[in-house]
Structure 1
Amino acid sequence: MTQALTEYRRLQHNGEPHYGQHLIATALSCNEGILSIERLYDFLQRLADDIDMVRYGPPIVARFGEGHEVGISGVQLIQTSSITIHTNDAHRDMYLDVFSCKSFAEETVRSVVEEFLSPTSLSCEVFFRK
Protein backbone atom coordinates (compact mmCIF):
# COMPACT_ATOMS: atom_id res chain seq x y z
CA MET A 1 0.00 0.00 0.00
CA THR A 2 1.37 3.41 -0.89
CA GLN A 3 2.31 5.99 1.74
CA ALA A 4 -0.51 8.33 0.60
CA LEU A 5 -3.14 5.58 0.88
CA THR A 6 -1.85 4.56 4.31
CA GLU A 7 -2.22 8.15 5.52
CA TYR A 8 -5.70 8.33 3.99
CA ARG A 9 -6.81 5.07 5.58
CA ARG A 10 -5.29 5.72 8.96
CA LEU A 11 -7.60 3.63 11.20
CA GLN A 12 -6.57 0.06 11.89
CA HIS A 13 -9.26 -2.56 12.46
CA ASN A 14 -8.53 -6.29 12.50
CA GLY A 15 -5.06 -5.53 11.15
CA GLU A 16 -6.34 -3.71 8.06
CA PRO A 17 -6.40 -0.01 7.21
CA HIS A 18 -9.80 1.68 7.07
CA TYR A 19 -10.97 5.20 6.23
CA GLY A 20 -13.46 5.70 9.02
CA GLN A 21 -15.40 4.45 11.98
CA HIS A 22 -19.20 4.70 11.76
CA LEU A 23 -21.42 4.22 14.79
CA ILE A 24 -25.18 4.07 14.42
CA ALA A 25 -27.32 4.19 17.54
CA THR A 26 -31.01 3.89 18.28
CA ALA A 27 -32.26 5.37 21.55
CA LEU A 28 -35.90 4.59 22.38
CA SER A 29 -38.34 6.25 24.80
CA CYS A 30 -36.04 9.10 25.81
CA ASN A 31 -36.75 11.75 28.46
CA GLU A 32 -38.26 15.17 27.71
CA GLY A 33 -34.83 16.51 26.69
CA ILE A 34 -35.42 14.96 23.28
CA LEU A 35 -38.16 17.55 22.66
CA SER A 36 -35.82 20.51 23.21
CA ILE A 37 -33.88 22.05 20.33
CA GLU A 38 -31.58 23.71 22.88
CA ARG A 39 -30.89 20.44 24.71
CA LEU A 40 -30.06 18.61 21.48
CA TYR A 41 -27.84 21.50 20.39
CA ASP A 42 -25.92 21.07 23.65
CA PHE A 43 -25.92 17.28 23.18
CA LEU A 44 -24.24 17.54 19.76
CA GLN A 45 -21.54 19.88 21.06
CA ARG A 46 -20.90 17.79 24.16
CA LEU A 47 -20.75 14.53 22.21
CA ALA A 48 -18.21 15.99 19.77
CA ASP A 49 -16.10 17.26 22.66
CA ASP A 50 -16.30 14.06 24.71
CA ILE A 51 -15.23 11.83 21.80
CA ASP A 52 -12.34 14.25 21.23
CA MET A 53 -13.40 15.71 17.89
CA VAL A 54 -12.74 19.21 16.63
CA ARG A 55 -16.08 20.95 15.99
CA TYR A 56 -16.42 22.83 12.72
CA GLY A 57 -18.82 25.65 13.50
CA PRO A 58 -21.96 25.38 15.61
CA PRO A 59 -24.53 22.60 15.26
CA ILE A 60 -27.54 23.09 13.00
CA VAL A 61 -30.70 21.89 14.78
CA ALA A 62 -34.34 22.26 13.68
CA ARG A 63 -37.76 20.73 14.28
CA PHE A 64 -39.88 19.89 11.25
CA GLY A 65 -42.04 17.20 9.67
CA GLU A 66 -45.73 16.39 9.61
CA GLY A 67 -47.99 14.11 11.63
CA HIS A 68 -46.16 11.20 13.24
CA GLU A 69 -42.92 12.26 11.56
CA VAL A 70 -42.45 15.52 13.48
CA GLY A 71 -39.09 15.60 15.15
CA ILE A 72 -35.76 17.31 15.43
CA SER A 73 -32.85 16.81 13.07
CA GLY A 74 -29.38 18.10 13.75
CA VAL A 75 -25.84 17.95 12.52
CA GLN A 76 -22.52 18.86 14.07
CA LEU A 77 -19.79 18.97 11.49
CA ILE A 78 -16.47 17.82 12.86
CA GLN A 79 -13.05 18.18 11.32
CA THR A 80 -13.05 14.48 10.51
CA SER A 81 -16.71 14.16 9.28
CA SER A 82 -20.04 14.60 11.11
CA ILE A 83 -22.46 13.68 13.87
CA THR A 84 -26.14 13.61 12.89
CA ILE A 85 -29.36 13.03 14.80
CA HIS A 86 -32.98 12.52 13.86
CA THR A 87 -35.71 12.28 16.47
CA ASN A 88 -39.40 11.46 16.66
CA ASP A 89 -41.43 13.65 19.02
CA ALA A 90 -44.40 11.27 19.33
CA HIS A 91 -42.35 8.30 20.52
CA ARG A 92 -39.34 10.19 21.92
CA ASP A 93 -36.91 8.12 19.87
CA MET A 94 -33.53 9.25 18.51
CA TYR A 95 -31.43 7.90 15.66
CA LEU A 96 -27.76 8.90 15.83
CA ASP A 97 -24.88 8.56 13.37
CA VAL A 98 -21.28 9.32 14.27
CA PHE A 99 -18.81 9.03 11.41
CA SER A 100 -15.15 9.97 11.65
CA CYS A 101 -11.82 9.10 10.09
CA LYS A 102 -10.46 9.49 13.63
CA SER A 103 -11.25 6.69 16.07
CA PHE A 104 -13.54 7.22 19.06
CA ALA A 105 -14.91 5.13 21.93
CA GLU A 106 -18.37 3.60 21.61
CA GLU A 107 -18.70 3.64 25.40
CA THR A 108 -18.25 7.42 25.46
CA VAL A 109 -21.05 7.85 22.91
CA ARG A 110 -23.30 5.59 24.99
CA SER A 111 -22.50 7.53 28.15
CA VAL A 112 -23.38 10.92 26.63
CA VAL A 113 -26.64 9.59 25.15
CA GLU A 114 -27.63 8.09 28.51
CA GLU A 115 -26.72 11.25 30.43
CA PHE A 116 -28.66 13.59 28.14
CA LEU A 117 -31.65 11.45 27.16
CA SER A 118 -32.02 8.50 29.58
CA PRO A 119 -33.45 6.12 26.95
CA THR A 120 -35.19 2.94 28.05
CA SER A 121 -33.31 1.14 25.27
CA LEU A 122 -30.03 2.00 23.56
CA SER A 123 -28.47 -0.09 20.83
CA CYS A 124 -25.28 0.67 18.91
CA GLU A 125 -23.55 -0.86 15.93
CA VAL A 126 -20.05 0.07 14.82
CA PHE A 127 -18.77 -0.33 11.27
CA PHE A 128 -15.34 0.32 9.85
CA ARG A 129 -15.37 1.73 6.32
CA LYS A 130 -12.60 1.15 3.80
Structure 2
Amino acid sequence: MLSIFVETSCNRYNRDECVDCHVYEPLADIPKSDWHMTPDQARVMAEKIGQVDVLNTLAQQEINLTGGEATQNPHIVEIFKIFKTAAPSVCLHTNLEMNSKSSKRWLRLVEILKEGGRADITLYPTAWEK
Protein backbone atom coordinates (compact mmCIF):
# COMPACT_ATOMS: atom_id res chain seq x y z
CA MET A 1 0.00 0.00 0.00
CA LEU A 2 1.11 3.55 -0.75
CA SER A 3 0.04 6.19 1.80
CA ILE A 4 -0.27 9.79 0.64
CA PHE A 5 -0.61 12.69 3.07
CA VAL A 6 -3.33 14.99 1.70
CA GLU A 7 -3.82 17.38 4.60
CA THR A 8 -1.63 18.86 7.29
CA SER A 9 -3.45 19.43 10.56
CA CYS A 10 -6.54 21.53 11.00
CA ASN A 11 -7.54 21.53 14.66
CA ARG A 12 -9.59 18.43 13.93
CA TYR A 13 -10.56 17.74 17.50
CA ASN A 14 -12.49 20.98 17.84
CA ARG A 15 -14.25 21.41 14.50
CA ASP A 16 -15.82 19.48 11.67
CA GLU A 17 -14.42 21.93 9.14
CA CYS A 18 -11.07 23.59 8.68
CA VAL A 19 -11.95 27.08 9.92
CA ASP A 20 -8.80 28.30 11.63
CA CYS A 21 -5.81 25.98 11.72
CA HIS A 22 -3.69 26.02 14.83
CA VAL A 23 -0.09 27.06 14.31
CA TYR A 24 2.50 24.33 14.28
CA GLU A 25 6.01 25.81 14.33
CA PRO A 26 7.38 24.26 11.09
CA LEU A 27 4.22 25.32 9.23
CA ALA A 28 3.96 28.85 10.61
CA ASP A 29 5.22 30.46 7.39
CA ILE A 30 2.95 28.44 5.10
CA PRO A 31 -0.30 30.22 4.17
CA LYS A 32 -3.33 28.31 5.44
CA SER A 33 -4.66 27.88 1.90
CA ASP A 34 -1.50 25.89 1.11
CA TRP A 35 -1.96 23.42 3.95
CA HIS A 36 -4.17 21.13 1.88
CA MET A 37 -3.08 19.13 -1.14
CA THR A 38 -4.62 20.57 -4.31
CA PRO A 39 -6.02 18.64 -7.27
CA ASP A 40 -3.12 19.93 -9.39
CA GLN A 41 -0.62 18.50 -6.91
CA ALA A 42 -2.54 15.21 -6.92
CA ARG A 43 -2.37 15.05 -10.73
CA VAL A 44 1.41 15.53 -10.68
CA MET A 45 1.79 12.90 -7.98
CA ALA A 46 -0.46 10.39 -9.76
CA GLU A 47 1.55 10.83 -12.95
CA LYS A 48 4.88 10.41 -11.13
CA ILE A 49 3.61 7.35 -9.24
CA GLY A 50 2.94 5.72 -12.60
CA GLN A 51 6.52 6.45 -13.69
CA VAL A 52 8.34 5.10 -10.62
CA ASP A 53 8.20 1.30 -10.57
CA VAL A 54 8.32 0.77 -6.82
CA LEU A 55 5.65 3.42 -6.17
CA ASN A 56 3.48 2.07 -8.96
CA THR A 57 3.79 -1.46 -7.54
CA LEU A 58 2.66 -0.23 -4.12
CA ALA A 59 -0.15 1.83 -5.66
CA GLN A 60 -1.47 -1.24 -7.47
CA GLN A 61 -2.15 -2.76 -4.05
CA GLU A 62 -3.90 0.36 -2.77
CA ILE A 63 -3.44 4.08 -2.26
CA ASN A 64 -4.32 5.28 1.23
CA LEU A 65 -5.20 8.97 1.45
CA THR A 66 -4.39 10.14 4.94
CA GLY A 67 -3.43 13.26 6.84
CA GLY A 68 -4.20 14.98 10.05
CA GLU A 69 -7.78 14.49 8.88
CA ALA A 70 -8.17 13.92 5.16
CA THR A 71 -11.89 14.73 5.00
CA GLN A 72 -11.13 18.32 6.01
CA ASN A 73 -9.42 18.85 2.66
CA PRO A 74 -12.14 20.65 0.65
CA HIS A 75 -10.79 19.04 -2.55
CA ILE A 76 -10.68 15.46 -1.24
CA VAL A 77 -13.38 14.06 -3.54
CA GLU A 78 -11.63 15.36 -6.65
CA ILE A 79 -8.26 14.20 -5.27
CA PHE A 80 -9.74 10.74 -4.65
CA LYS A 81 -10.92 10.57 -8.26
CA ILE A 82 -7.46 11.57 -9.52
CA PHE A 83 -5.69 8.87 -7.51
CA LYS A 84 -8.35 6.35 -8.58
CA THR A 85 -6.87 6.68 -12.09
CA ALA A 86 -3.49 5.50 -10.72
CA ALA A 87 -4.67 2.63 -8.52
CA PRO A 88 -7.41 -0.01 -8.55
CA SER A 89 -8.24 0.70 -4.91
CA VAL A 90 -8.15 4.01 -3.04
CA CYS A 91 -8.85 4.20 0.68
CA LEU A 92 -9.53 7.32 2.71
CA HIS A 93 -8.34 7.30 6.30
CA THR A 94 -10.54 9.31 8.63
CA ASN A 95 -11.46 9.68 12.28
CA LEU A 96 -15.04 9.19 13.36
CA GLU A 97 -15.60 12.37 15.34
CA MET A 98 -17.71 14.28 12.87
CA ASN A 99 -20.48 16.15 14.61
CA SER A 100 -23.35 15.49 12.23
CA LYS A 101 -24.45 13.58 9.17
CA SER A 102 -24.84 16.90 7.35
CA SER A 103 -21.28 18.12 7.95
CA LYS A 104 -19.20 18.75 4.84
CA ARG A 105 -16.66 16.19 6.04
CA TRP A 106 -19.30 13.47 6.37
CA LEU A 107 -20.81 14.32 2.97
CA ARG A 108 -17.35 14.12 1.35
CA LEU A 109 -16.80 10.70 2.89
CA VAL A 110 -20.20 9.47 1.68
CA GLU A 111 -19.46 10.73 -1.85
CA ILE A 112 -16.12 8.91 -1.90
CA LEU A 113 -17.79 5.69 -0.77
CA LYS A 114 -20.43 6.08 -3.51
CA GLU A 115 -17.57 6.45 -6.03
CA GLY A 116 -16.18 3.07 -4.97
CA GLY A 117 -13.66 4.26 -2.41
CA ARG A 118 -12.88 2.46 0.79
CA ALA A 119 -12.85 4.05 4.26
CA ASP A 120 -10.42 3.27 7.06
CA ILE A 121 -11.97 4.78 10.18
CA THR A 122 -10.16 5.30 13.47
CA LEU A 123 -12.46 5.54 16.47
CA TYR A 124 -11.48 7.77 19.36
CA PRO A 125 -13.14 7.59 22.80
CA THR A 126 -14.19 11.23 22.38
CA ALA A 127 -16.43 10.17 19.47
CA TRP A 128 -18.87 8.72 21.99
CA GLU A 129 -19.02 11.68 24.36
CA LYS A 130 -21.72 13.61 22.48
Alignment TM-score, normalising by the size of structure 2: 0.34
From the two aligned structures, give the one with the greater strand fraction: 1
Find the structure with the greater CA-based Rg: 1
Higher helix content, 1 or 2: 2
